[in-house]
Amino acid sequence: MYLKGQLHIHTTYSDGRLTPQQAADLYKRQGFDFIAITDHDHLLKPSYRRAIEEIKTDLIVFFGIELTVGTKLGYVHVSRIEGQSEILHTFNHPGDYGFTLKQTISCINDIAEQIHIDAVEVTHHGFYTPDYDIEEIAYPKVASDDSHTRLGCGRAWIELNSARDKDSILRAVKSGDFMNGYARGHSRAAAMVLA
């Protein structure tokens, strides 16, 4: 089954402007099949998990947390997304940290000693960042929009052919069996890039 999904969404349970239900409704209207809500660990409000579980939608909704992880170079963000038994860890928005490419690779390797990294984002708030879409970063590269507001939703996504269940989707991402998609104007050179 062909599915379109978003792996990095923030809501009012940390620093986003949409409630979990509003985010799900908006992504549904934009033609998404699955989403992962990944609010920041250090800003989480009580009842976060319950709010995710109570979303009324036919979207597949993953529970996630954007972890703040300490490295030799400083703090970075890694999303932890839960399936039924699978867990996906994604190194988020490498362009945000001000590291050189060599430092970024070193940082990812440093994190991999603490947390098993499964994928690396190649977007900055939905905009393609080709500097990180390189062989030297030896992980599947995912596009996400890291949405915090209504305007941030739907800028970038992944598309895959998978059974419609959480673990199958996460296994496809881990194996790199997906394509990245971008809204027009967000990456003309990479409208549909094979991950």
pTM over 0.85: yes
Strands 87-91 and 119-121 come out as parallel
What is 134-184 written as a DSSP string?
Answer: STTS-S-EE----BSSGGGTTSEEEEEE--SSHHHHHHHHHHT--EEEE-T
The residue segments making up the domain with residue 89 are 2-194
Q: How remote is the C-alpha of 63 from its chain's centroid? A: 12
Q: Number of structural domains, the chain?
A: 1
The per-residue pLDDT string of the chain (195 residues; one tens digit each, 9 = 90 and over) reads 899 999 999 999 999 999 999 999 999 999 999 999 999 999 999 999 999 999 999 999 999 999 999 999 999 999 999 999 999 999 999 999 999 999 999 999 999 989 999 999 999 999 999 999 999 999 999 999 999 999 999 999 999 999 999 999 999 999 999 999 999 765 434 434 443
E-strand stretches of 50-115:
60-71, 74-82, 87-91
Residue 157, domain CATH: 3.20.20.140
- Residues 70, 134, 152, 149, Cα dihedral to 10°: 0
Q: Which two tokens stand for residue 37?
A: 């809500």
